Structure 1
Amino acid sequence: MSRPYVLLSVAASLDGCIDDTSTTRLVLSDQDDFDRVDAERAASDAILVGAGTIRADNPRLLVRSAQRRERRVAAGKPASPAKVTFTRTGSLDPSSQFFVAGDVPKLVYAPPEVASSLSLGPSATVIGAADLTAALADLHSRGISRLMVEGGGHIHTQFLAADVVDEIHLVYAPFFVGEPDAPRFVHPAAFPQSPARPMSLTCVQQIGDLVLMKYRVTSHD
């Protein structure tokens, strides 16, 4: 299958949580790490988050650095990468930042029976896709060569279990959340990356009190 190169990016607490159960977004990164993520966004063709992340966090998903935006435009690209989401139900608000922020393509993948009746206004292209494989093939056909996946946990799990992740950037924050119902990096699944088939650690970097680990899925090399 032709598909984009997939980078999965996540920040988590030491006990594997990507948020807590409060109504305020848990900050897991510092400014240096936010800038690192911004550079990865600028190097990508598209950024993907799940519909649940759009509803919970209302992210803009734009490149923050003016210099990076200028370099993208000079290279003939939009100032920020395309935005991509998956939805099983079509429960999305067309006034959310995902749709209104930034003059970039917004692509929404949904099961064909949902996509056929889903209208999100002129800013979004809705595509019927039976599964993740079909969605990734469609993204590749649209010129998306590098896809950055930013969560949440159900999306991370879906991509990892389907064995379509090429690289993982995992940042650990120096604290514990400790809440049993807090959102997690991943959920239980049959992961192909097992002790018998490990990934390759390519980088360990201290960022203030955070630690960044980069892994390559060596079976894809």
Structure 2
Amino acid sequence: MSERPYVLLSCAMSVDGYIDDATPERLRLSSPADFDRVDGVRAACDAILVGAGTVRADDPRLLLRSPARRERRIARGQPGDPAKVTLTWSGDLDPEARFFTTGEARKLVYTLPGTAAGLAARLGDRAEVVDAGDPVSLPAVLADLSARGVRRLMVEGGGGMHTRFLTAGLVDELHLVVAPFFIGDPSAPRFVGPGVFPQSPERPMRLDEATRIGDLVLLRYLAGGARG
């Protein structure tokens, strides 16, 4: 088995690079057709990773929408849903969040050594808490996931996770959906934050696909050194 899973990062953003607005209600940047496409991509992955901030802000279920896709996974001997993975530095996670309470998929929480014991006690049997070092090491997280049989990992946000994975050079494939409008609010969250990205003008990603989905466009990039 490889040292780390193949990492696919998926994001929908406005034309000016925002993944939400600054209002309390979640902004939908996608469409039913694109939600179904994302569901198909999820079904082909072994695990889905989001940051703890996304768990707190969006309360995602991270389950497949399509019963048929779930049944096909089970027929192949896989769990019905991909495993759920999150990273937290503070340990500030609600055991009642839908991340933990929905679905039968394995739930994994990676955190700091000083946070792990207390968080494990609060979450109980709802998730497995894993010490990922101080600071939390993405290569260590990926190595642990690989050892658990995760061959294909989907990273779904938020902007902090996008930035960490991209600046670390740990993304093999990027699915970027662009919505046909602007947000224009500097207080709203963006696709990525500041950082030193290896995907630079001297080492650009390769555009492998551009697909129209109604008024949306899907741009599928392969990063340098992507392993297919």
| Paired amino acid for 1:127 | V
Q: Does 1:163 align with 2:132?
A: no
SS in 1 for 2:212: strand
Aligned to 2:203: 197
Stretches of structure 1 lacking an aligned partner (at least 5 in a row)? none
The equivalent residue for 1:219 is: 225
Partner of 1:14: 15
After TM superposition, give the deviation of residue 115 of structure 1 in Å: 1.1
Q: Is the 8 A contact 2:173 2:226 kept in 1?
A: no
User: Do residues 209 (structure 1) and 212 (structure 2) align?
Assistant: no
Cα displacement (A) at 1:111: 1.2
- TM-score, scaled relative to structure 1: 0.98
Q: Figure out how many residues of one structure are paired with residues of the other and give that number.
A: 221
Q: Write out aligned runs for 1:66-145 (5 A).
A: 66-119=67-120, 120-130=123-133, 131-145=137-151
1:179 aligns with 2:180: no
Match of 2:39 in 1: 38
Tell me whether 82-91 or 114-123 shows the greater mean CA deviation: 114-123
Distance 1:117 1:60 in 2: 24
Alpha-carbon distance in structure 1 between the residues aligned to 2:101 and 2:85: 13
Work out the CA distance in 2 between the residues paired with 1:123 and 1:23.
27
- State the Cα distance separating 1:135 from its structure 2 match: 0.7
Deviations 1:95-136 (A, max 9, x none): 100000000100000011211321212020000002111111
Q: Which residue of 2 aligns with 1:58?
A: 59
List runs of 5+ in structure 2 lacking aligned partners: none
Q: Return the match for 2:156 from 147, 150, 154.
A: 150
Secondary structure of the 1:60 match is: coil
- Indicate the residue corresponding to 2:25 in structure 1: 24
SS of 2:124's equivalent in the other structure is coil
**Whole-Å Cα distance in 1 between the matches of residues 59 and 19 of structure 2?**
16
Deviations 1:28-58 (A, max 9, x none): 0000000000000000000000000000000
Query: 2: CA distance between counterparts of 1:27 and 1:124?
Result: 28
Q: Alignment RMSD, CA only?
A: 0.9
Does the 8 Å CA contact 2:210/2:218 hold for their aligned counterparts?
yes
CA apart distance, 1:219:
2.3
State the one-letter code of the partner of 1:203: E
For the residue of structure 2 that corresponds to 1:33, the secondary structure is helix
Measure the CA separation in 1 of the matches of 2:70 and 2:176. 25
**Cα offset for 1:76?**
1.0
